[in-house]
């Protein structure tokens, strides 16, 4: 199972509408062989629909899907050589774990006559094919630590075990791509972290191209080679987890990734630079004077300082190693969140007036349409 | 020392008396339900069983115990034999036919994209309509001279059939009406069962390589319909065994007892000839068949069904 590279996937111009609602608006995506890509976005952004279109469970109104260079747009799901892990696992409840794992192999390798009880023994070569299937099931079960559960029914398994059976059913026949639709959303937090690692590990060993749909940014950021952020049926950005976090192309991407949420402040461009209210910011950007802009500052880009933005502390959240400081900026009226080391924040109290200094090299600037505007920190001191 | 021994002895005694008290309370609390159960369900059945050992006739001043006399008579009674045979034929034809057709119709309706509720209502119509009233319609439809069925056959060059009047055809006609009567019931139950199957299982089956509709039916639909099917089989079997109203309304067991069925024979013996003891014996046989059926259901079929 190891070392077998998955296929590249190329998705072009996928359009889909249900009635008059446009769910997907020309989505393009390309995956390299063996890549792990997360499709992330809020619920209702069309990511599951896109996944079902790639799987062949749904047909697109326009666009094409190519797997390993072959156009599969017109092929039905069973012929696309794709395996999928469903959110609710979709295990066959009347079959044992071993039978569930065997289904993809039985369906593909045994003729319909061979699947009929009693008659199967009349078909020549049946015993060999059957034992080959059993061996593969055994192998997949060992890999997923399901060996001792093979005779149980899904109802007798825990959520995590069911999840592993669903994974096993997907990888037992070594498909050219895996599609996973929020496979961890039904697990509790602790199990989720463990299974996350397990899936990454399985992917590394099997090397199968994987598309992983999730609304959980932590899953997307920690597991993927690349992250595709979708919103309202559009692909907003595709990049490594670090790229999309540090260099978001759109205000919506910046707002979706990162917890706590990125701080946004209304700023405008004046002839002499970018101003936050009356304050001239040490930022340079190529914008026409008078434009309304949005300044994005991640909570970790704000530090406690003797001078800077004057704020009043509204709320402190103790997280162990660090403290989240929620504060109100007087002019313009806005809320800011800062992530501070515990040592710095130990003495702070609710209601204190403090100053926050921004790391301007990490500041992000967005236009009125939400698109990113290139900016850089200037040497100018903050004239506060 | 003696005190502690006495105490030690006293404790179990108290516990035991509390146990008895609890048991008594339990019996008292169960009593109303138990009595009702006996008076309304078990009692009448027991009375029926007792009556079947007598020669009582309705209104007769006295009765004699004749032991198994009624049952011995049953074995030689040609009418009872026809009734038993006809009932079993009726169950054997109507049950599989209405279940098979019903499953097919349910799959078609549920597989379609629209008009589901309409079809459901149409198929359910015979179930909610008054069967005796509908029997009139059937009588017209199957009438040997003015009936549309025969006229249709005449168009195809087939000579008219005396559907309800000939002993060769009367059971065929009753079975057809039986299927018509049960089909809607079966369809509605299967449709309910089908909607309970998670859509994702079909998606999973498709990705697992179940290409044909037959593959998906065998992998997903049929096993997951198990509990529904078991219920449908039981209910339909009992409904078929109880066939009475169509017979009473259309043929009264005729011609020449050719359409006699168990419950109609029982009805005639008990309510036309007032031979209560004999009709009780027929009812006992009927109940025995129902019980046997339920036993088969719980002991054999139930074990092969998957309940999620």
Domain ranges of chain B: 1-51, 69-304
CATH class of B69-304: mainly alpha
pLDDT digits (tens, 9 = 90+) for B136-163: 888 888 888 888 888 888 888 888 787 8
Angstroms from A174 CA to nearest CA on chain B = 12
For residue B151, the SS3 value is helix
What CATH number is given for A260-377 in this structure?
2.40.50.140
* pLDDT score for B1: 43
Q: Is A150 on the interface with B (CB under 8 A)?
A: no
Contact in structure between A154 and A164 (CB atoms under 8 Å): no
Q: What is the dihedral of CA B259, B261, B263, B265, to 10 degrees?
A: 70
C-alpha span between A288 and A212 (Å, rounded): 41
Do B308 and A107 count as a contact with CB atoms less than 8 A apart? no
Confidence of residue A381 (pLDDT cuts 50, 70, 90): low
How far from chain centre, in Å, is Cα B117?
26
- pLDDT exceeds 70 at position A379: no
Greatest Cα pair distance, chain A, in angstroms, is 90
Domain ranges of chain A: 9-249, 260-377
- pLDDT exceeds 60 at position B12: no
Confidence of residue B129 (pLDDT cuts 50, 70, 90): confident
Do A112 and B215 count as a contact with CB atoms less than 8 A apart? yes
pLDDT digits (tens, 9 = 90+) for B190-203: 999 999 999 999 99
Residues of A in contact with B210 (CB under 8 A): 78, 107
For residue A364, the SS3 value is strand
pLDDT digits (tens, 9 = 90+) for A87-131: 999 999 999 999 999 999 998 888 877 887 777 777 888 888 888
Chain B residues within 8 Å of chain A (Cβ atoms): 198, 200-201, 203-212, 214-215, 218-220, 223-224, 226, 306, 308
The mean pLDDT value for B239-250 works out to: 88
C-alpha span between B106 and B101 (Å, rounded): 8
CA proximity to A166, closest of A194, A196, A142, A144: A144
Element spanning B156, H or E = none
Confidence of residue A380 (pLDDT cuts 50, 70, 90): low
C-alpha span between A38 and A212 (Å, rounded): 5
Q: What is the value of pTM for the model shown?
A: 0.79
Which residue on chain B is closest to A116 by alpha carbon?
B218
Element spanning A323, H or E = strand A322-329
The mean pLDDT value for B292-299 works out to: 85
* pLDDT score for A145: 87
Residues of A in contact with B224 (CB under 8 A): 93-94
* pLDDT score for B11: 52
DSSP string, A273-319: EEEETTEEESEEE---TT-EEEEEE-GGGEEEESSSEEEEEEEEEE-
Distance between terminal CA atoms of chain B?
A: 60
A-B Cβ pairs (cutoff 8 Å, strict):
71
- pLDDT exceeds 60 at position B4: no
Which residue on chain B is closest to A53 by alpha carbon?
B203
CA proximity to B180, closest of B137, B151, B221: B137
pLDDT digits (tens, 9 = 90+) for A269-301: 888 888 888 888 888 888 888 888 999 999 999
* pLDDT score for B308: 58
Q: Among A58-62, A174-178, A257-261, B146-150, which stretch is predicted with the lowest mean pLDDT?
A: B146-150
pLDDT digits (tens, 9 = 90+) for B78-89: 888 999 999 999
Interface confidence (ipTM) of the complex: 0.82
CATH fold for domain A9-249: Rossmann fold (3.40.50)
Which residue on chain A is closest to B304 by alpha carbon?
A94
């Amino acid at each position: 199972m190891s070392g077998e590279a998955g296929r590249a996937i190329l998705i072009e111009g996928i359009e889909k509408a249900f009635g008059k609602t446009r769910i997907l608006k020309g989505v393009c995506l390309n995956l390299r062989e063996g890549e792990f890509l997360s499709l992330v976005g809020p619920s209702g952004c069309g990511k599951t629909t896109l996944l079902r279109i790639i799987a062949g469970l749904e047909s697109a109104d326009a666009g094409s899907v190519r797997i390993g260079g072959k156009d599969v747009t017109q092929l039905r799901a069973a012929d696309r050589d794709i395996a999928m892990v469903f959110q609710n696992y979709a295990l066959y409840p009347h079959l044992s774990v071993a039978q569930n794992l065997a289904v993809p192999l039985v369906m593909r390798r045994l003729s319909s006559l061979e699947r009929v009880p009693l008659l199967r023994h009349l078909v020549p070569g049946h015993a060999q094919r059957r034992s080959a299937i059993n061996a593969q099931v055994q192998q997949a079960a060992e890999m997923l630590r399901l060996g001792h559960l093979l005779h149980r029914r899904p109802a007798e398994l825990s959520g995590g075990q069911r999840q592993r059976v669903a994974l096993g059913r997907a990888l037992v026949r070594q498909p050219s791509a895996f599609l996973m639709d929020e496979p961890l959303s039904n697990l509790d937090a602790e199990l989720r972290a463990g299974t996350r690692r397990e899936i990454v590990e399985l992917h590394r060993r099997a090397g199968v191209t994987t598309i992983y749909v999730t609304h959980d940014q932590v899953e997307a950021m920690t597991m993927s080679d690349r992250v595709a952020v979708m919103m309202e049926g559009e692909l907003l950005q595709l990049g490594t987890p670090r790229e999309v976090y540090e260099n978001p192309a759109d205000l919506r991407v910046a707002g979706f990734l990162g917890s706590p949420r990125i701080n946004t402040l209304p700023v405008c461009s004046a002839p002499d630079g970018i101003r936050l209210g009356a304050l001239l910011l040490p930022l340079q950007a190529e914008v026409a004077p008078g434009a309304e802009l949005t300044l994005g500052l991640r909570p970790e880009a704000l530090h406690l300082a003797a001078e800077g933005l004057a704020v009043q502390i509204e709320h402190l959240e103790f997280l162990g190693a660090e403290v989240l400081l929620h504060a109100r900026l007087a002019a313009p009226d806005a809320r800011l969140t800062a992530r501070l080391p515990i040592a710095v924040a130990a003495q702070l109290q609710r209601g204190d007036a403090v100053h926050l200094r921004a790391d301007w090299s990490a500041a992000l600037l967005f236009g009125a349409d939400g698109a990113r505007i290139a900016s850089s920190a200037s040497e100018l001191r903050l004239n506060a | 020392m003696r005190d502690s021994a006495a105490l030690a002895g006293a404790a179990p005694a108290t516990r035991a008396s509390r146990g008895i008290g609890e048991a008594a309370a339990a019996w008292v609390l169960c009593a109303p339900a138990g009595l009702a159960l006996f008076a309304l369900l078990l009692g009448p059945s027991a009375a029926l069983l007792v009556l079947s050992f007598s020669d009582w006739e309705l209104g007769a001043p006295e009765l004699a115990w004749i032991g198994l006399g009624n049952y011995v008579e049953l074995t030689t009674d040609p009418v009872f034999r026809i009734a038993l045979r006809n009932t079993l034929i009726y169950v054997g034809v109507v049950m599989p036919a209405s279940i098979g057709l019903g499953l097919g119709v349910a799959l078609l309706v549920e597989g379609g994209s629209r008009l589901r509720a309409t079809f459901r209502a149409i198929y359910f119509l015979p179930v909610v309509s008054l069967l005796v009233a509908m029997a009139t319609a059937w009588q017209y439809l199957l009438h040997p001279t003015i009936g549309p069925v025969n006229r249709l056959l005449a168009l195809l060059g087939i000579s008219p059939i005396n559907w309800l009047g000939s002993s060769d055809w009367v059971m065929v006609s009753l079975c057809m009406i039986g299927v018509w009567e049960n089909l809607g019931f079966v369809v509605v139950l299967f449709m309910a069962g089908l909607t309970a199957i998670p859509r994702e299982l079909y998606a999973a089956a498709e990705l697992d390589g179940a290409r044909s509709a037959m593959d998906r039916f065998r992998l997903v639909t049929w096993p997951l319909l198990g509990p529904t099917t078991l219920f449908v089989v039981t209910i339909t079997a009992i409904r078929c065994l109880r066939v009475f109203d169509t017979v009473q309304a259309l043929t009264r067991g005729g011609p020449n007892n050719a359409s006699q069925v168990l419950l109609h024979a029982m009805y005639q013996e008990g309510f036309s000839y007032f031979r209560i003891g004999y009709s009780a014996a027929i009812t006992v046989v009927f109940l025995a068949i129902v019980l046997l059926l339920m036993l088969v259901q719980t002991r054999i079929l139930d074990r092969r069904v998957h309940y999620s």
